[in-house]
A and B are shown apart, each in its own frame.
Chain A
């Protein structure tokens, strides 16, 4: 591997750490996985990035530790460092939807590195990172909960500074398609505000209407021969659920 060469050439300097390792170890970059150097150096994977990042060959040298940073002026170094982070992020969004990248993200998902869904009925479902746009500078990274299919802000402010484009809009979809067994069952539990034990009417009305929408969806799926009860990506129905559920399903 080219890594070894890099290591020996680098050992003379103060920097014994690889750039990628340094980047991943930096506080706030916990969501990133390490990209294989071969993937970065393959020009095919960089198609279209030349407009977004300047001096790509030099920047790649920074990422792969091929460039002696000490020989540059502070200003040059700063620009290169900035571009290196940008390029790494952009390649990252492509890498994590490849087979190898998905496996690495799976590991992080299992460790709950992206956090848990704080919605009570999601029962600490692990989250997946997602961007709202594939161009940089539009919005920060968000977290997708596969259980309630909703979007959340990261808990920690240091993660809300990461560009969403570094994860891309397609990642959660690709991830769930690659690992269909990880698609969770969806909880049908709801909360309706109560005053002294009585449900508030307006809210129960909305809850009933939403439940009606769910039943409609379920019946149309059942009509098409799709199993929706207690299967992956189906609805999780318990016996001791609230009245609404009891009325509709006796099981």
Chain B
């Protein structure tokens, strides 16, 4: 593992960290970004051994030597601190640029869904607090989340990428819209000997909505009605059927009406 003698080896702590096995999702954070205290606001309260960890990341000689027993802890803190800085850095212009390079090289992998046609993934954390969940991958084509396909990414904290990154990324790089449009909008339907399975049957399709996109004019109109909430004319539908549904369902409807 990296030590503070990296000044002799010419390899910085950061480049060493990013080169470690399974760390290929990380980009190298610019030292200037880390040196600016403003960018580190609030981190000192989350990370133990904050000062020592920061010195380690920046390859500074610590003020007082770190005792051998503390070294693993500082090492761990440095990784945590680097990860949290990383999640902030990738939202900056420079960071996004570095991430787009990785995205173009498909270094985060590609979506396994057949009709996404190898759409490159973007890394995401579902929580911004460290220690909650490991990193997940977002596919901009099917708007869905996937697990990394290799177990070597299963110890990387999702907070090191953060909840905001993919959203910001797709907003800023509008070329992605183009990439999505080129992709097949087909949906798979299970068939038996070429026959469709009736929706009413016990085995009928239930998940078509998940990948469905508006196509007809009527559907686009419907989409426009979804501007701020799910259109309420639906409520009438539910009321209509209410008569022949069990009590549970009726209670549900009361809730809707109250809202």
Contact surface of A with B, Cβ cutoff 8 Å: 118-121, 142, 144, 147-153, 155, 169-170, 172-174, 176-177, 180, 183, 186, 190-197, 200, 203, 205-217, 219, 221-226, 228-229, 232-235, 244, 247-251
Could you tell me the distance between the alpha carbons of A200 and B244 in the complex, rounded to whole angstroms?
A: 38
Is B104 among interface residues, defined by CB-CB distance under 8 A? no
User: In the complex, what residue of chain A is closest to B204 when comparing beta carbons?
Assistant: A233
Report the minimum CB–CB distance from A49 to chain B (whole Å): 17
Smallest CB gap from A217: residue in B:
B209
Nearest CB in chain A: distance from B31 CB, A: 26
Which chain B residues numbered 197 to 239 have a C-beta less than 8 Å away from chain A?
A: 197, 199-200, 202-214, 219, 222-223, 226-227, 229-231, 234, 237-238
In the complex, what residues of B have CB within 8 A of residue A219's CB? Answer: 234, 237-238, 241
Chain B's interface size range is 35 or more
Q: Give the segment of B38-46, B54-62, B76-84, B111-119 that binds chain A.
A: B111-119
Given contacts A151-B188, A209-B214, contact A121 B234 (CB under 8 A): no
Let me know if B223 and A209 touch, CB within 8 A: yes
Give Cα distance in the complex from A118 to B259, angstroms: 36
B204, B209, B222, B251: which has the most chain A beta carbons within 10 Å? Answer: B209
Residues of B within 8 A of A (CB): 112-115, 126, 136, 138, 143-147, 149, 163-164, 166-168, 170-171, 188, 190-194, 197, 199-200, 202-214, 219, 222-223, 226-227, 229-231, 234, 237-238, 241, 244-245, 248-249, 251-252, 254-256, 259
Query: Given that A121-B145, A222-B245 are known contacts, is A233 also in contact with B163, CB under 8 Å in the complex?
Result: no
Q: Name the distance in Å between A176's Cβ and chain B's nearest Cβ.
A: 5
**Cβ-defined contact, B138 with A193, below 8 A:** yes
**Chain A residues within 8 Å of B227, by CB:** 205
A235: which B residues are within 8 A, CB to CB? 206
**B207–A186 contact, CB under 8 A?**
yes
Contacts of A232 in B (CB 8 A): 202
Find out whether the CB atom of B164 lies under 8 angstroms from the CB atom of A170.
no
- Does B207 lie within 8 Å of A149, measured CB to CB? yes
Contact across chains for A183 and B203 when beta carbons are under 8 A apart: yes
Across the interface, which residues of A come within 8 angstroms of B254, CB to CB?
Answer: 250
Partner of B248, one of A213, A217, A223, A251: A251
In the complex, what residue of chain A is closest to B193 when comparing beta carbons?
A: A170
- Contact (A210, B212) CB under 8 Å given A144-B190, A183-B203, A191-B144: yes
Rounded to whole Å, the gap between the CB of B171 and the closest CB of chain A is 7
Taking A120-B136, A191-B143, A212-B222 as contacts, is the C-beta distance between A173 and B192 under 8 angstroms? Answer: yes
- Which residues of the other chain, A, contact B138 by a CB distance below 8 angstroms? 191, 193
Report A89 CB to chain B, min CB distance, Å.
19
